[in-house]
Amino acid sequence: MTKPLIDRLPPSFKTPMAKFVAGSILITGVIAMAFNHAAKQDPNIQEVSYSQFKKMVGEKSFTLIERQEDSESKQVTYVGRNGDSKVRVITRDFPDPALAMAAESAGAEVKSTVIETPAWWKGALLWFLPSVLFLGVLIAWQNNRDKKQAQAMGQAKGGTMTFGKSKAKLHEDVGARKTTFADVAGVDEAKNEVSELVEFLKNPEKFKKMGARLPRGLLMSGGPGLGKTLLAKAIAGEAKVPFYSIAGSDFVEMFVGVGAARVRDMFEQIRKQGRCILFIDEIDSMGRARGGANSNDERESTLNQMLVEMDGFDDNSAVLIIAATNRPDILDPALLRPGRFDRQVTLNLPDAKGRHQILKVHAKGKPIARNVRLGELAQELEGSSGADIANLLNEAALRAALRDSKDIQRADINYALEKIALGPARDMTVDPDDERCTAYHEAGHAITAYRLEKICHVRVNKVSVTPRGRALGVTWTVSDKDSPSKFKDNLQGHIAYLQGGRVAEIMKYQQPTTGASNDLERITDTARRMVMVFGMAKDLPARNYAPVSASGHHNPPMSSDMAARVESAINDFVNRGEEMAAKALEDNAVQLELMAEALLEYKTLEREDIVCIMEEKSLEKLKEIRARRDAEFMVSVAKEESQAVPVIPPNPNLWVSNNPV
């Protein structure tokens, strides 16, 4: 039996691109022929029979008669013209002297022409050649682009036919730049965990003699900006092996099977390297648990191929697969079993010591002024990741460069932190009554936090009524205890501190304003978690009442009686915080008035100013302190060499986000 023509074509002619090219040429030709046919149909020409045309000649209907003879088909076309009107008849040529004589007697001019009609293949070529040239240029451009992309990714080939090829990029400069563990700070536990992997990659024979094999995979989990990618590069730099990287989303395409093909090609490449590291960033985009409502055939086929390829590794191979994710809870269990991702390393937010090390790393190459103490700055940056710290120093460097300063001052760092946390200061006109209300609100926060510092373990650093972002004012605090664990009293004190602004408004104006909306949101969230997550309610059993726990466990729905008891316990914590704030402000009513007046006059109060108001209760003493500080600043400015613009006054204190829950 003879095979159809499509089955006898080579495989390259059956690819989607080849079918696309053939279909485009066919469609272009059909459209061109349709346009050509339409062009020949002149709507101003009337088609008549030969006898009728001859009659019209005798009736002197034409002033000009054209006789057009086709050299190929011997077909003759007579066209009679009279102004804009045209009459045409198409027939075979035959002797008819009467037609010519009738035309001459009617006074019509007679013209005869011979039309040279090209062969059919010439006309077809005329229409198809531009289409072929256009598609050829398009394919050549796409091939060139794909080849450049493949070269950038460390692949030997590229082009239109590499749709199913791996997009893993080879970073040949990782070893050249020597990214090592010295460039990674704040994750000492993670570095210790992966140090033996580095030793295996350096000297695999030592481990093979003992019958040990390299773990197939290392899964690094943690929040964004904690250094997962940097740690993977440092492992390759320490081991001095090739480093491939790819994103999990690069595998998944619209067509089923493309992702699996890319996985096969990727593992084929890394096996040829012998010793190397493959880093898959955001693996949860292709390694999500199979099945469920969000199932996807392409993603699941890609994941299945990944599982098969990882099982197919030789026990003596020295290839390490490192994956990073922010969501380890949604990964497929088959990925996490032994023999695939054998090791799991969790990266957490750095402590004060880790933040100090990160500051030292990112301060390299930057002219940091002597008045910047990195140890103190690290203590104040609680809750910041490595990426946050790098961004902070970069913003400070940009600020110093704009000031034409020769080094980065503490004022630059403070400015950068305030800009990142709240946005730049807004140049807006605030109604005096609104500004006064904001001053009392922020003074209430500051006084409550100051009196409850020993309970909340926070320190009030600054209070301001300068509008920033969406806030008309802000009170900035810093935790004085770098501890992930919080006691019940700490959280209760935090609720009281948040209640201080609203309570101050009620004391001054006998009614609250809308300015406490964000405070109430944080108050409610803290109290709810104290009851439903941390089990701190006095009259309720200590268990988790949240519908979904942090581990993803779904708790059974509560009865109406239990829900009422939970809400009652939440209200108790909120009311207790309001009572604590009211007592603190009633005992410091004089300081509340003084601080509000000082805020209206100076707009911003530093830690030293707050202590003066709370302890000295004197605005005159406050003026002396601010005058001395301004004089010290002017002396420091005079020591600086010429600067393009005046520097902003230094801010010796710093605020960071303080959420103890």
Give the CA distances from residue 539 to residues 257, 526, 542, 635, in Å, rounded to whole numbers and listed in that order.
58, 18, 9, 61
How far is CA 117 from each of CA 112, 196, 609, rounded to the nearest angstrom? Answer: 16, 83, 99
Tokens of 141: 């451009």
Q: What is the mean pLDDT of residues 470-480?
A: 82
Give the distance, in angstroms, between the CA of residue 549 and the centroid of all CA atoms in the same chain: 28
- Compute the average pLDDT of residues 163-184: 67
> Using one digit for the tens of pLDDT, what is the confidence trace for 90-110?
665 554 666 767 776 766 667
Sort residue 463 into left (φ over 0), alpha (ψ -120 to 50) or beta: beta
Q: Residue 307 in contact with residue 334, Cβ under 8 Å?
A: yes
Token pair of 411 as six digits: 């004022």
Q: Which two tokens stand for residue 429?
A: 């006109």
What value does the mean pLDDT take over residues 331-356?
86
**pLDDT average, residue stretch 385-393:** 90
Which pLDDT value is given to residue 498? Answer: 94
Domains of the chain listed by start with CATH number: 5-37+130-151 (no CATH), 44-117 (3.30.720.210), 165-347 (3.40.50.300), 352-421 (1.10.8.60), 434-617 (1.20.58.760)
Burial class (CB within 10 angstroms; exposed 0-12, middle 13-18, buried 19+) of 86: middle
Q: d(Cα 229, Cα 325) in Å, to the nearest integer?
A: 10
Q: Taking the C-alpha atoms of 601, 602, 606 and 612 in order, what is their torsion angle to the nearest 10 degrees?
A: -40
Which tokens is 277 given? 């590291």
Asked if the model's pLDDT at residue 331 lies above 80, the reply is yes
For the four alpha carbons of 461, 466, 470 and 472, in that order, the dihedral sign comes to positive
pLDDT-based confidence at residue 175 (cuts at 50, 70, 90): very low
pLDDT at 442 over 80: yes
Q: Given the structure tokens 């002619």, which residue do they identify?
A: 13
Residues 6+ apart with CB under 8 A from 136: none
Give catalytic residues, as residue numbers. 442
Tens of pLDDT, residue by residue over 67-76, are 676 666 566 7
pLDDT at position 227 is 87
Over 80: is that where the pLDDT of 178 sits?
Answer: no
Which has more pLDDT, 282 or 152?
282
**Cα separation of 486 and 660, whole Å?**
7
How large a percentage of the chain has pLDDT more than 90?
Answer: 19
What pLDDT is stored for residue 583 in this prediction? 95
Token pair in block for residue 180: 């090592």
Question: CA-CA distances (angstroms) from residue 137 to 27, 125, 130, 414, 495?
Answer: 18, 18, 11, 56, 68
Backbone angles phi, psi at 649, to 5 degrees: -60, 140
| Residue among 571, 455, 443, 456 at smallest CA distance from 500 | 443
**Stronger pLDDT, 195 or 160, i.e. the higher one:** 195
d(CA 173, CA 195): 21
- pLDDT at 593 (0 to 100): 94
Mean pLDDT along residues 182-206: 84
Confidence of residue 503 (pLDDT cuts 50, 70, 90): very high
285 neighbors 249 (Cβ within 8 angstroms): yes
User: Average model confidence (pLDDT) for the chain?
Assistant: 78
Average pLDDT over residues 147-170: 55
Query: In a 10 Å sphere around its CB, with 0-12 CB exposed, 13-18 middle and 19+ buried, how is residue 558 labelled?
Result: middle
User: In the beta sheet, which residues pair with residue 319?
Assistant: 276
Residue 610 or residue 82, greater confidence: 610
Residues 6 or more apart whose Cβ sits within 8 Å of residue 295: none
Residues whose CB is less than 8 angstroms from the CB of residue 128 and which lie 6 or more positions away in sequence, other chains included: 25, 28, 29, 32
Average confidence (pLDDT) over 189-195: 86
Per DSSP, which regions of 56-134 are E strands? 64-70, 75-82, 85-92, 109-115
- Which of 31-40, 137-146, 421-430 has the weakest average pLDDT? 31-40
Cβ atoms of 181 and 238 closer than 8 Å: yes
pTM beyond cutoff 0.85: no
Hey, what are 187's tokens? 């994750």
593 against 425, higher pLDDT: 593
Q: How many CB atoms lie within 10 A of CB 452?
A: 24
Give me the amino acid identity at 637: V
- Give the model's confidence band at 7: pLDDT under 50 very low, under 70 low, under 90 confident, else very high: low
Q: At residue 580, does pLDDT exceed 90?
A: yes
Backbone angles phi, psi at 113, to 5 degrees: -135, 155
The torsion defined by the Cα of 122, 124, 129 and 132, in degrees rounded to 10, comes to: -150
What confidence score (pLDDT) does residue 501 get?
A: 94
